């Protein structure tokens, strides 16, 4: 296999694919990137067996073929080369010679036969939607997904399709984000699946503002096609819990709050809390929200902000990081916080379909 390609094109392809390459893996082939030629294009594929990424770049192919080369070394080398043409020749022993200007490198590859198969998704996608919309949906939900949990369904994003809409739900057991958007799909199609957060994180890096994303489903894998890029992920084999049952129907207290002010007030109160596991207390009284916190090692804080609210006065404890995460992902000037009592979830919502639940924390004894 021989080809000549622009350094910039190679860098952009390798950049996308090298993120999921295992730094240490028992399978040395997984440290490699599969490079194939296809009608005037190079196709790069990497996989860690859970997630695979494939992307293309233009090249002048003088001899078609395929090989696998160590992804990290190849990326490091190409990145250092001067702008311009990069000439790559790979012999039958999978030894690659890389030339650019005065620089010459030789890299030892592995036969493409050893590279695990990464699914191709041909035919009609399950659904399509603008990349921009999915990106927005992911931004508002992925932060709530657990990064590690023995309950595997909590470490993935729930995709549910029905009535021409896609619903995304992410939760880590103490908070939950839900959002929906219309999609182009086969009429009457209903279904759902859970995509691991590791794949979602990669998808968020790859997804852009323009064009559509086409989503495929086949067996226990999902594919996300973004232009010529493809991300393939194994699905989490679990049933997503009945989350709808936990969404309170009506709140006893409904407060309208200025989002930025609310976030700033929480941040100030949280200054005296020393750890992630700490809580801030929200105390709603007539037209005022008092946010207070205290930690035995640091001290106390008490900050007041105006709040429009209806219902009986109520005090409730929340993790300040959770509060700020949700406030930061929203764009509205005013947000709504609905509360039932001090042990039921708080519901944060804005203008669209977005909904966020936060479970309260127990307030220290003796405090109301």
The binding site for other proteins (CB under 8 A) comprises: 146, 148-150, 171-176, 241, 243, 246, 276-279, 296, 319, 343, 345, 357, 359-362, 364-366
**Cα distance between the two ends of the chain:** 73
For the CB of residue 43, give the shortest distance to other proteins in the complex, in Å: 31
Helix or strand (DSSP H, E) at 13: helix 7-18
For the CB of residue 198, give the shortest distance to other proteins in the complex, in Å: 13
The SS3 of residue 243 is coil
For the CB of residue 306, give the shortest distance to other proteins in the complex, in Å: 28
By beta-carbon proximity to other proteins, the closer residue of 24 and 117 is 24
Pairwise CA distance, residues 34 & 44, whole Å: 6
Which residue's entry shows tokens 């006893």?
252
Pairwise CA distance, residues 69 & 46, whole Å: 10
For the CB of residue 275, give the shortest distance to other proteins in the complex, in Å: 8
Pairwise CA distance, residues 57 & 308, whole Å: 55
By beta-carbon proximity to other proteins, the closer residue of 64 and 364 is 364
By beta-carbon proximity to other proteins, the closer residue of 26 and 277 is 277
For the CB of residue 346, give the shortest distance to other proteins in the complex, in Å: 11
Q: Are the C-beta atoms of residues 265 and 255 closer than 8 Å to each other?
A: no
By beta-carbon proximity to other proteins, the closer residue of 117 and 362 is 362
By beta-carbon proximity to other proteins, the closer residue of 174 and 267 is 174
The number of angstroms, rounded, from the C-alpha of 252 to the middle of its chain's C-alpha atoms is: 34
The values of phi and psi at residue 24, to 5°, are -135, 125
By beta-carbon proximity to other proteins, the closer residue of 278 and 283 is 278
For the CB of residue 65, give the shortest distance to other proteins in the complex, in Å: 37
Smallest CA-to-CA distance from 215 within 246, 181, 248, 256 is with 181
């Amino acid at each position: 296999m021989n080809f000549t390609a622009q350094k910039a094109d190679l860098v952009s392809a390798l950049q996308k694919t090298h993120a999921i390459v295992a730094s240490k893996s028992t399978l040395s082939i997984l440290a490699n990137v599969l490079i194939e030629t296809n009608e005037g294009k190079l196709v790069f594929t990497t996989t860690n067996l859970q997630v695979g990424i494939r992307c293309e770049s233009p090249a002048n192919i003088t001899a078609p073929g395929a090989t696998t080369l160590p992804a990290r070394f190849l990326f490091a080398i190409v990145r250092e080369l001067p702008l311009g043409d990069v000439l790559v020749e790979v012999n039958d022993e999978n030894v690659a010679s890389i030339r650019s200007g005065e620089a010459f490198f030789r890299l030892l590859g592995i036969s493409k036969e050893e590279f695990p198969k990464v699914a191709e998704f041909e035919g009609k996608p399950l659904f399509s939607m603008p990349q921009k919309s999915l990106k927005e949906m992911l931004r508002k939900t992925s932060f709530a997904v657990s990064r590690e949990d023995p309950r595997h369904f909590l470490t993935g994003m729930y995709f549910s399709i029905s009535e021409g809409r896609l619903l995304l739900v992410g939760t880590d057991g103490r908070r939950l984000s839900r959002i929906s958007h219309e999609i182009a799909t086969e009429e009457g199609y209903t279904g759902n699946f859970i995509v691991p957060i590791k794949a979602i994180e990669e998808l968020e890096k790859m997804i852009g503002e323009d064009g559509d994303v086409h989503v495929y489903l086949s067996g226990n894998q999902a594919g996300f096609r973004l232009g010529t890029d493809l991300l393939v992920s194994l699905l989490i084999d679990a049933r997503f819990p009945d989350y709808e049952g936990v969404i309170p129907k009506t709140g006893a207290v409904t407060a309208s709050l200025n989002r930025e002010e609310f976030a700033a007030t929480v941040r100030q109160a949280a200054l005296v809390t020393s750890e992630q596991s700490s809580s801030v207390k929200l105390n709603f009284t007539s037209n005022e929200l008092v946010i207070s916190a205290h930690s035995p090692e640091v001290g106390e804080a008490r900050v007041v902000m105006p709040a429009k609210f209806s219902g009986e006065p109520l005090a409730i404890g929340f993790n300040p990081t959770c509060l700020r995460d949700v406030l930061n992902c929203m764009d509205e000037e005013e947000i709504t916080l609905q509360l039932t009592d001090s042990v039921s979830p708080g519901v944060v919502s804005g203008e669209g379909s977005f909904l966020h639940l936060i479970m309260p924390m127990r307030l220290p004894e003796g405090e109301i």
